Structure 1
Amino acid sequence: MVATSVISRGSETLDVFTRRSQPKIEIDLVGQKPGLVNSYTTGDHIEGTVSVTVEHETRFDEIEIALQGVSRTTVERAACPGRTGSQHMFLKLKQPIEENDYPAPRVLEAGRKYSFPFEFVIPDQLLPQVCTHKRKNNAIHRSHTMIPPTLGDPMLAGNGKALLDDMAPDMSLISYIIRASVLRRSSSDERQVKAMANFAKKVRIIPIVEEEPPVDISDHPCEARDTVSTVATVSLRFDPAGDEQPPKLGSMISKLKASTFYSASPWEDYPFQSGTTPFSQVGQGLFTESVPLSTMCVGSVQWQKHSTMTSCERRDSTESTCSEASTGPSSEFIGGTYYTASIVIPVNLPHSKTFVPTFHSCLMSRTYSLDLALSYHTPGTNVLTPTISLRVPIQVTTGLQYADSVKSELGVVVTQAELDEFFSPEIYRPSRE
């Protein structure tokens, strides 16, 4: 028992000495403000300096400075209890360091500060080899090689006090860091390199994302073209079975639904954007969150009467004998009188959430839909107020102006334990096919 106690104290002393003798690394970013994390967008330059100091004379071989982007997912196992997941390093940009920037010999002296400047440019696309898995169409490869936004990280609001939720589950994460390491090669095998010290600083990436052509969204595809704006116009049509009057409208409720798809294996196709179809593949997950937008009383909306019995003549702007609306007849419509109405709905995103742009990557996707629910009152009935619903897939894009407006975020420094866990060996690696 005594010997064991002596060995334990000796091990603790050696461990403390080892930690104290490790090089100390600091990362300073240009434009860094205390307590805030720098945010960048496509084409921005990340500039800064890595500083290294030691308490004792320390030999080393190389300083590595890299911008790394990693996606990580966790899903429930199907066969047995527990979880499994994947990690994919989709971006790694290394800062070249010239030979004359190193001290000669490669020894760090106590009491001196060694500085190594770096500069990275945020690309708009990833290298093709980061996405080499099987895929069902070429559009998937293009989507998977677009740089994704930071996801799964709270963002500081403009007032510097409130954290904004990006509506991502704990099971999915996309993170970017500047990582600096002091490396030493093994004396017995130079191919083996050991990190004597690591340090990382988190940065936020909000890429510029332009509107993409629509993709298949369900088992009932259709084609449409519309202009995205801050309002949505809903066209209604009522086809009476006889001489019934159109129902009186009640209220219109609008919500924005954010869907985060994640998987332990790469997606071969775009996930279902409706967010309602169960997945047939094991190891896939879906997390949805709806954000209320508005509740409008639309009882004052007036129906316009039309008829197909007369020739289509254009009268004035408020009356017509033929439908000029985009809403077509129902399958039971046999002709005659019908009614139409239009409702203009404001679509204003709340400031309490972070809406990352729509994206698709190898392990996860984020899509959005506008959910509308219209209540109405049927004349002569006392049943519960019926409701009809409509879900419209939409794209959230990011322009330069928006990206510039969110460049002040919550400050986070990654600890050594978090660094070791985050950059553990990858489970998913691109194949060499």
Structure 2
Amino acid sequence: MPSSISTHASTFSTFLTTSTTNPFSKPQTSISINGDNALSAYRTQATYTTHSRITGTVQVVSPNCDVRFDEVVITFEGTISTWLDRFNPTPASGGRTYAEKMFLKLTQPTDDTLLPIPRLLTKSKTYTFPFEFVIPEKLLPSACSHHRSTSSQETAEREEHLQLPPTSGDPLLPDANGVLVDDSFPDMLKIAYSINARIIRRRERDNKPVVLSSSVRKVRVMPYAEDAPPIMLDGEVTAAPAFAGGGSMGPRYVLKKEKDVKKSLFKPRLGRLLVSAHQPNPLHLHDPNKAGPPSTTMVPISLLFTKTTSSSSSSPPPKLTTITTKLRIHTTFSTTPFPHTPQQEAAGPVGNYSTTHTLSTRCISNTPWTGNEAKLSVPVSPPKGVMLVPSFSTCLGARSYSLEVIVGVQNSSSITLRIPLQVSFPPPVEAGAGVEVGVEEFFTPRSVAPPSSSSVADEERRGQLPPHMRPRANLPPEGLPAYVFPPVGGEGGVVRIPSPVGISPGCG
């Protein structure tokens, strides 16, 4: 699988030569995926995830004449493409750079029995070639082989870059409901998965492959993404004074903030209000192919009011007004491998693109205070009209999220926190439910003691005894007498009475 990154300043180069033959003599190829409606195949698009099977057929037909060919190549490919404008003082050093990388390539083996002998596409005859691809769980190590700046980044960064990224930045690819979705990706970053079919003929003079006909079918992929550990933040990042702006090159996250509280603008201060937050649990995405309630996570907020002077000892805590939550979506991209870390705004040859979506505004004027402390739990759900993808990081781009929590204080300016938020897409829990039940049943102790007469019927109904220990009905074999005894305990029983020695059956 190719792992190199092609970077150039104008157009992309192709590794296969396009055929220059008469277009009327070219064969036609089409790709169909099983389960799609032929009338709406390109208006609805299922989302595939880890271990999903994509099956279908490639149909080839030459409508006008017989065409010689050598190979039918069917592949499943994943590519990432970026571009970046360089603004330099001199025009010669500026311009736009492009990069494209194929991080995944699966090839469908072709059944030789389906290929005609000789390799000739007969006019107006349709040839069908099936394919089946399975979305892998991880990429091969060769997909990320660039040099890291420090050895400490080797393990963590490489592990992130070997995870499959989701389909991103394609505004013309609909979802399972046939709706064009907005994933808030810029034009500078695009991640695409597609099924490619090529009819190839090799030139006789140099054996170079020539593409006679090709077809591409895009598919939407959202691999499973497990919950990641909380982001490790430095002390200077998690705490900031009230005047900290956190510009584009400053700390991205502010988990603590404090400010002076006054009764009015020209009155002396009564104390200081400290607002802090903890990183919330990851926001879990649901299966995009199934309708369900929106996912929600809770953000814990703590408020602490500290009185500064003895004259303010009798002053109550400040009155709160509203709390507003906003979701900031961060996308970084580059044309060369770069560590896209979520702790700091990227600098250098990296582009940044961010969008902000207001989630909710709630009234908190009735928040109860316990002494000088108060606690809030703010629910957070995905914004409407925006398709979120799991947080990811690759060699050329990354996606991360953060929350802006704005706490309003009466007679004072508001306090804004910026909290990291991880978005994940864990596998369904039902997948391991059957295994857990089997394990518990295996370790459940079983009794091997002979059953009592009163519990034989119950244990037989429950099926807890092996077949050779289950009580059998005392029915006599053929030729032996059977007598019905009076009921014992309200039930009748049939028992076998063996014949005495020397007395034939039926004697008195």
Using structure 1 for the length normalisation, give the TM-score: 0.74
Q: Per-residue displacement from partner, 1:67-118 (whole Å, max 9, x unpaired)?
A: 0111011111133443112111101100011322211000100011011100
Q: Per-residue displacement from partner, 1:122-177 (whole Å, max 9, x unpaired)?
A: 011001001000123111111001000000023646764x5321010111100011
Match of 1:238 among 302, 305, 309: 305
Match of 2:352 among 279, 286, 294: 286
Distance 1:164 1:217 in 2: 33
Distance 1:19 1:109 in 2: 17
> Structure 1's 217 and 184: CA in aligned 2 closer, same or farther, altered over 3 A?
farther
Match of 1:212 among 220, 223, 228: 228
Distance 2:331 2:51 in 1: 26
Whether the 8 Å CA contact 2:281–2:297 is kept in 1: the answer is no
Distance 1:98 1:163 in 2: 37
Match of 2:115 among 88, 102, 114: 102
Whether the 8 Å CA contact 1:261–1:271 is kept in 2: the answer is no
Secondary structure in 1 matching 2:341? coil
| 1:409-424 equivalence runs, <5 A | none
> Structure 1's 61 and 17: CA in aligned 2 closer, same or farther, altered over 3 A?
closer
Which residue does the alignment assign to 2:34? 30
Distance 1:85 1:99 in 2: 39
Distance 1:47 1:204 in 2: 14
Whether the 8 Å CA contact 2:332–2:340 is kept in 1: the answer is no
Which residue does the alignment assign to 2:252? none
Secondary structure in 2 matching 1:304? coil
Which residue does the alignment assign to 1:271? 341
> Structure 1's 218 and 111: CA in aligned 2 closer, same or farther, altered over 3 A?
farther
Distance 1:256 1:48 in 2: 39
Match of 2:131 among 115, 118, 129: 118
Distance 1:159 1:179 in 2: 24
Secondary structure in 2 matching 1:141? helix
> Structure 1's 370 and 91: CA in aligned 2 closer, same or farther, altered over 3 A?
same
- Structure 2 residue identity aligned to 1:281: G
> Structure 1's 200 and 93: CA in aligned 2 closer, same or farther, altered over 3 A?
same
Secondary structure in 1 matching 2:46? strand
Give the gaps of 5 or more residues in structure 1: 1-14, 306-338, 379-384, 403-433
| 1:351-390 equivalence runs, <5 A | 351-378=384-411, 385-390=412-417
Whether the 8 Å CA contact 2:77–2:193 is kept in 1: the answer is yes
Match of 1:77 among 69, 86, 90: 86
Whether the 8 Å CA contact 1:262–1:285 is kept in 2: the answer is yes
- Structure 2 residue identity aligned to 1:236: L
Bigger mean CA deviation after superposition, 194-203 or 225-234: 225-234
Q: Percent identity?
A: 35
Question: Is 1:341 matched with 2:382?
Answer: no
Whether the 8 Å CA contact 2:144–2:395 is kept in 1: the answer is yes
Which residue does the alignment assign to 2:145? 132
| 1:213-228 equivalence runs, <5 A | 213-217=229-233, 220=236, 227-228=281-282
Secondary structure in 2 matching 1:116? strand
> Structure 1's 396 and 115: CA in aligned 2 closer, same or farther, altered over 3 A?
same
- Structure 2 residue identity aligned to 1:202: K
Distance 1:176 1:18 in 2: 31
Whether the 8 Å CA contact 1:259–1:273 is kept in 2: the answer is no
Secondary structure in 1 matching 2:191? strand
Which residue does the alignment assign to 1:153? 170
The higher relative CO (CA closer than 8 Å, separation ≥ 6) is in: 1
Secondary structure in 2 matching 1:256? strand
Structure 1 residue 290: deviation in Å? 1.2
Whether the 8 Å CA contact 2:48–2:222 is kept in 1: the answer is yes
> Structure 1's 342 and 158: CA in aligned 2 closer, same or farther, altered over 3 A?
farther
Bigger mean CA deviation after superposition, 293-302 or 222-231: 222-231
Distance 1:64 1:187 in 2: 19
